[in-house]
Each structure stands twice: as structure tokens, then as C-alpha cells.
Amino acid sequence: MNRKVTVFGAGFVGSTTAQRIAEKQLADVVMVDIIEGMPQGKALDMTESACLEGFDAKITGSNDPAACAGSDLIVVTSGIARKPGMSRDDLLKTNAGIVGSVCDTIKKNAPNATVIIVSNPLDVMTYLAGVKLGFPKNKIIGMAGVLDSARFRCFIAMELDVSMRDVDAMVLGGHGDDMVPLVRYATVAGIKVEDLIPKDKLDALVTRTRNGGAEIVALLKTGSAYYAPSASVVEMVASILHDEKRVLPCAAWCTGQYGVKDMFVGVPCVLGKNGVEKIIELKLGNDELAQLKKSADHVLENVKRLNL
């Protein structure tokens, strides 16, 4: 196996992402973290599971950021996680410093890598990466839409007591309280959810989706979600490394699509070996476009707080 993925941050999201990448045989994985011994210990623990789980991908840990050299793809999960009562935006200042430093390292050591940003506030950190890295914008992608869509799909399946595999749904916009779950496009085995779930209950599912991360933070009390976020990252990683050209909602650089210009925001993307290969423009209604504009405007407000 000669593909290499580096995961910055060996906390719950980062380490679970590394584990899933290795177990799916997508690439060899390097985990980088500033805590001495922690990425090495987790890497060794995962390696010892290889004969049981049946994978040959190599997993290593390092405290040296330069270990990302030669990576085909880099996942950035570095930063502090939310605590109860915090919004994703509350993390902006601290995580901007951390993500900015990581991007300086990536630019120096892995100039040809595709970079997936996971750190919150997601869309703002992706914008920061775009500025810091200076890479072609199609090679810089934010993970959020896949996760938000997975939560929406999950809640629909739970409401209807049907298989999660039969539910299709998409969430656009920023990864925040004003994200835009597209109810009109949500289906169960091709059947519109609007024909299966009353409007008041659908509205409640939309609200739960928007608060999906906060719901888990409130329950955990000492951390935030990592199983679904890591699974969402790995779906993107697989599509890029295998050139699958999956249509997935991601924070991508918009140049006028959906009325959004010069901004990273969640839109439907074709993900392949060149990163974001195409942004698909759905026919949205006036209300949906207004919601998306509001979400993008909120991202822009926080981008301005970066003072770049």
C-alpha cells in the first residue's frame, strides 16, 4: 500500500478516523499530535488489532508535524472541542491559531496533498486553510455536510422505523445552527419524506439536525461527537483516493454558485482524485436560497473575525 494519509490531531475524531482508514485499507496512516507519546500509543494499539481485523495498512504516530511529508491526503482535526453551552463559533480564536500553524506545516512539507478540514468552526477554518495554504481551491475541502446529512437521514429513519440505508437526504450551508436541511429532496427508497411524515414532525427533525452536535455535547458533557464525524470524513477520503466521484455535500469554494461568491460553504460536490471536481447546482426554491444565503452570510461574519 503506497497511499499516505496524515491525520493531524489524535483525539477522538482523529484517532477514530485513522482507525477507519486503516481498517478499510484505504491508505497507510500517520497520526500527528503535540501530546508526547499519545499518537504513538494509539497507533501501536491499532496496529496490534490488524491481525484480528484483517488489514495490512501501516499506522504510525508522531509528535513531529513534518511527518506529513509526502502525504496524498491530509485530514485536519486539530483544535479544542466544544463543551456544553458552547457554540461552534466560540472555538474560533483558539482553533484559528492551531489550524493556521498546521497549514503552515502542510504547505512546507506536503504541497501536493488534498486537505480535508474537520476543525470547528468548520467553514471558517476551511477559509483560513484556503488563505494559509494557497493551494488550488478544489484541493481544500471542509467536512460537515456529510455529517449533517447523516444526522438528518438517521432522524428520518428513526421517525419512520425504516432502514437507514433507504433514506437519502442532503444538508447544505454552513456547519452551524442555520444549516439548510433540504426537506424537499429527502426520500425513503425514492418516496418523498413529505409524503410520509407530517410537516410539524419534519420541522422537528430539521431542528434536531441543526442541533445534532449540541445534543451530543450536552449528553457527553466532556467532549463532542466523533463516531459519525469520523465516518463522514472517511467517506470523503475513500471517494478521493479511489476516484469514486461520489456526490457529497462538502464545504467547497464557491465562485457564484447558489449566489455565493469567494466563500467556502456546504454545497453538493463531486469528489474524485482532484478533490472537488464539480459543484452541482440544484434548483432551489426562493425560501431555500434565502436560507442558504443567511447561512453563508453567517460564515462571512465569522471569517471577518479572523482579521486576515
Asked if 107 contacts 133 with a C-beta cutoff of 8 angstroms, the reply is yes
The CA–CA distances, whole Å, from 85 to 50, 89, 168, 176, 239 equal 39, 12, 31, 14, 35
- Non-local CB neighbours of 89 within 8 Å, separated by 6+ positions: 121, 124, 176, 302
Catalytic residue among 175, 197, 251, 264: 175
- Peptide bond preceding 249 in cis form (omega within 30 of 0): no
Yes or no: say if 139 and 148 are a contact pair by the CB < 8 Å rule: no
Comparing CA positions, the residue from 147, 286, 160 lying closest to residue 229 is 147
Angle at CA of residue 234, ends 232 and 236, nearest 5°? 75
The cell for 266 is 456546504
For the chain, give percent helix, strand, coil, nearest 5.
Answer: 50, 20, 30
Label residue 63 left, alpha or beta by phi (over 0 means left) and psi (-120 to 50 means alpha): alpha
Locate cell 475524531: which residue? 13
Q: Is 175 a catalytic residue?
A: yes
What would the grid cell of residue 302 be?
465569522
Is residue 6 within 8 A of residue 110, CB to CB? The reply is yes
Catalytic site positions: 175
